[in-house]
Amino acid sequence: MEELNDLEKLKKESEEYLNGWKRAKADLINYQKDEEKRAGEFVKIANAALILDLIPAFDSFDLAGATMEKGSAAEKGFLMIKSQLLEGVKKYGLEKIKIVPGAPFDPLSHESVGEIESSYPSGSIAEEVNSGYTLNSKVLRPAKVRLARSNRE
């Protein structure tokens, strides 16, 4: 009888140890997943800083491209380099904010830098001044736009 009690105690004790080991293993797996997630977020933040530093170069490409003779070899080469750079950073989540003249102004992704007379509805986007960009669906830099002012006012 006493041996049966000892066996039951040992069985319960081994189950406790096994359950404790299972909990510790699950905690370790969860910890590893959390660390992977944190490391991924760190990489995204590091990428954001680098890409933010590259955006003025994209603006310079736009300005220089506007002054080149249309269809020239220089313009074609220039546009090819710009395209390659943009494709390279696109892999890391960079997207240009698309601007459609006449679309409503969105203060979350657009920054108004003035108004111009336009046939578009008053307060809507009339033209893009500077490109805006998102990184992994978060606005990195808002697009600078001029808003329409109705020529009937």
Helix (H, G, I), strand (E, B) or coil at 152: coil
136 vs 113 pLDDT, higher one: 113
Q: List pLDDT tens digits, range 99-121.
A: 999 999 999 999 999 999 999 99
Q: Which helix (H) or strand (E) holds 131?
A: none
**Quick one: what percent of the chain has pLDDT higher than 90?**
51
Cβ-based neighbours of 115, under 8 Å, separated by 6 or more:
126, 146, 147, 148, 149
> Token pair for residue 150?
């109705």
- pLDDT score at 132: 95
Whole-model pTM: value is 0.68
The span from the CA of 120 to the CA of 128, in Å, is 14
| Residue 125: closest CA among 146, 143, 94, 111 | 146
**What is the CA 58 to chain-centroid distance, rounded?**
17
For residues 15 and 50, what is the distance between their CA atoms, to the nearest angstrom? 53
Tokens 């039951």: give the residue.
8
Q: Report the SS3 class of residue 128.
A: strand
Q: What domains can be seen in the chain, in order of their start residue?
A: 1-92 (3.90.20), 93-153 (2.30.22.10)
115, β-bridge pairs: 147
Strand order in the sheet with 125-130: 110-118, 143-150, 125-130
Q: Could you tell me the pLDDT band of residue 153, with boundaries at 50, 70 and 90?
A: very low
